[in-house]
Every structure is written in C-alpha cells, then in structure tokens.
C-alpha cells in the first residue's frame, strides 16, 4: 500500500485549517502551485475528494475533515519523535546494564556504588554478575551495555578502559612456615598446594600467571566456587591461594585462621577495566564512568 507523504499531510492540515490555498502554502513555506499539486496527489492516492474548491471558497469534505484530523495526529506524533530524540539526556542518566565478574563485584561495588549513585542520581543501574566469557557474550549480543573485567583477557572486538590496578596477596593458613615476615616470592611456594577457583574464572589464570605456573588439572574438590569458599579451604590447611588487593581490603575476607602476605612479583597482577562494544552509542558516558571509578579508587573512596 502506498502511503501519503508527511509533506502532503502538512499541506492538507494547513489548507483545511486555513481554508485557503495561498495562505496554507505560505504557512508551509511553499508556493501555492506546489501545495495545490500536493493536495491533488494526496486525493489521487486516497482515491477520494478531500476538498471542494471554488474561486471564492475552499471547503473540506467530511472525509477531508477526517483526514485532516488524522493528519494532525500523525504530524504531532512525528514532531514528538523529533523532540524526544533531540532532548539530550544528561551524562549517565537512564538505564545502564553493567556486568561484573564475581571476583570483582562483591568487593568493588559496595565500595563505589554509593558515590556513583550520588554523583549520577538519574542513573538506573542494572547489574549482572557472571564470568568473563558469559559477560563477553552478553556484551556482543547487546544484552549488556558494558562490563567490568579483569585484564589481561581477550576482549575480541570490544573496547576497554582500565580504571584500576591490583597486586595479589598470598593467603596462607595460620602457622604456615611463611606466615610471618615480608613479601613472598613465587619461588618460595613451589611445594605448596595452590588452590584456585573453578574453570572459567579469570582470576584462576591471573593467579597462575602471577606465579609463572602452567595450568594444573586440579581435583574438583580443590576448586573453589567463590573466593569465600577458597578462603575456607586455605583456613582448613588444604593449601594456599592468591587474593587480589580489593578482596584483601574487604571486611568480608577477614578470617582468623588466615595470614596474608604481599606477593613479591613486579608490576600489577591484574587490571580492572570497563569494557564495551566499540560501536556503543554513548561512549562518553562510559568514559565518564571509568573516570569516576578511577577517581573514587585513587582517593580510597
């Protein structure tokens, strides 16, 4: 079905409300001739007469009136569209779907979200906690706007912005031979059972990388489902593990049967980054968010 054009509807609306071709043309910023042919085309398209014309009067037919009415609705809808689109939203307002990996979420978010919410009160955050691979998939599918990852991680076509660095700590059972003293070098731990999160957590790879080990086929019983369970296993004397800075500082990680020592290995051991599709339509917002996070973490929140 061939539809009338917006222009034609504007012509109709004008001529029905003014009852005068020349005046209507002026309102539409076209010549009388243009408007005249426009109306004729509309009538042809609709297959019905919309106006009675004489040299002295322009008289809408009942159908013309009805059509003008609908045209008005339609035009106002179109105008609404433009208005709605053109009002530029303030930075970081409206819905934002943010993914976080489980080894960051519980430690970072309680720390920073109150300030973020205070700074951007119109922001509506929808949080999703999942492993990196899942988040990456959701990002690609458009189910998330952005996500917080721990790097290094293969991000594919995503863009990212690092907003914090972390070093690792060694978590030892109380009474371990290295339990007191200064930083611990990876070489000192070769004889210890290294407890890791189950497959899929990037922290597993980062930890291995920090102590220059290859991946080891651990028994499922020795794989933690979360840092909390891992800590319990360390406290139980089943081995040692590495914890990121952020977890160490968290009150949730305090445990009376655990000793913590810095890992003596140069450079940051993982970096926290905000990640998004490179086609994402509001990168400025995300850049503002990373700036905000970075600032909050530098100032110790």
Partner DNA sequence: TCTCATTAATCGATTTTTCCTATTAATTAT
Partner DNA sequence: ATAATTAATAGGAAAAATCGATTAATGAGA
| Residues making contact with DNA (CB under 7 A) | 5, 7, 20-22, 29-34, 36-41, 51, 53-56, 58, 156-157, 278
Minimum distance between the CB of residue 139 and a second copy, rounded to whole angstroms?
11
Stretch that binds a second copy, among 30-38, 48-56, 229-237, 291-299 (CB under 8 A): 48-56
Is 2 a binding residue for a second copy by CB under 8 A? The answer is: yes
List binders of a second copy among 80-139 (CB under 8 A). Answer: 80-86, 88, 94-95
Indicate which of DNA, a second copy, none lies near residue 31 (CB less than 5 to 8 Å, by partner kind): DNA
Nearer to a second copy, 29 or 214 (CB): 29
Residues binding a second copy: what is the number (CB under 8 A)? 51
Nearer to a second copy, 17 or 226 (CB): 17
Nearer to DNA, 32 or 229 (CB): 32
Q: How far apart, in whole angstroms, are the C-alpha atoms of residue 280 and residue 73?
A: 34
Q: How far apart, in whole angstroms, are the C-alpha atoms of residue 16 and residue 10?
A: 10
Nearer to DNA, 53 or 174 (CB): 53
Nearer to DNA, 5 or 73 (CB): 5
Indicate which of DNA, a second copy, none lies near residue 74 (CB less than 5 to 8 Å, by partner kind): a second copy
Minimum distance between the CB of residue 133 and a second copy, rounded to whole angstroms?
18
Instruction: Tell me which of 127, 174, 248, 280 binds a second copy, using CB under 8 A.
Output: 280
Positions in the binding site for a second copy (CB under 8 A)? 1-7, 10, 45-49, 52-54, 57, 59, 61-63, 66-67, 70-71, 73-75, 77-86, 88, 94-95, 140-142, 157, 277-282
């Amino acid at each position: 079905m061939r539809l009338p054009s917006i222009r034609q509807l504007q012509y109709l609306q004008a001529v029905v409300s003014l009852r005068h071709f020349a005046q209507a043309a002026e309102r539409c910023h076209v010549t009388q001739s243009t408007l005249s042919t426009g109306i004729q085309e509309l009538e042809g398209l609709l297959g019905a007469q919309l106006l009675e014309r004489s040299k002295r009067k322009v008289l809408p037919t009942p159908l013309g009136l009805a059509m003008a009415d609908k045209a008005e609705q339609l035009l106002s809808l179109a105008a609404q569209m433009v208005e709605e689109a053109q009002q530029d939203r303030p930075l970081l307002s409206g819905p934002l779907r943010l993914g976080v990996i489980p080894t960051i979420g519980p430690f970072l978010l309680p720390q920073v979200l109150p300030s973020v919410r205070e700074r951007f009160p119109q922001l509506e955050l929808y949080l999703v906690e999942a492993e990196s691979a899942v988040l990456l998939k959701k990002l690609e599918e458009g189910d998330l706007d952005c996500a917080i990852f721990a790097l290094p991680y293969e991000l594919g076509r995503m863009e990212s912005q690092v907003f914090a660095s972390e070093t690792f700590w060694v978590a030892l059972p109380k009474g371990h031979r290295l339990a007191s003293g200064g930083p611990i070098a990876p070489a000192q731990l070769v004889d210890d059972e290294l407890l890791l999160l189950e497959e899929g957590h990037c922290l597993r790879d980062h930890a291995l990388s920090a102590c220059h080990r290859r991946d080891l086929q651990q028994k499922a019983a020795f794989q933690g489902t979360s840092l909390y369970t891992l800590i319990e296993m360390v406290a139980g004397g089943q081995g040692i593990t590495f914890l990121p800075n952020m977890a160490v500082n968290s009150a949730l990680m305090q445990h009376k049967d655990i000793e913590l020592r810095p890992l003596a290995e140069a450079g940051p051991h993982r970096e926290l980054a905000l990640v998004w599709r490179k086609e994402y339509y509001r990168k400025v917002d995300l850049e503002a968010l990373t700036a905000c996070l970075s600032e909050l973490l530098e100032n110790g929140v």
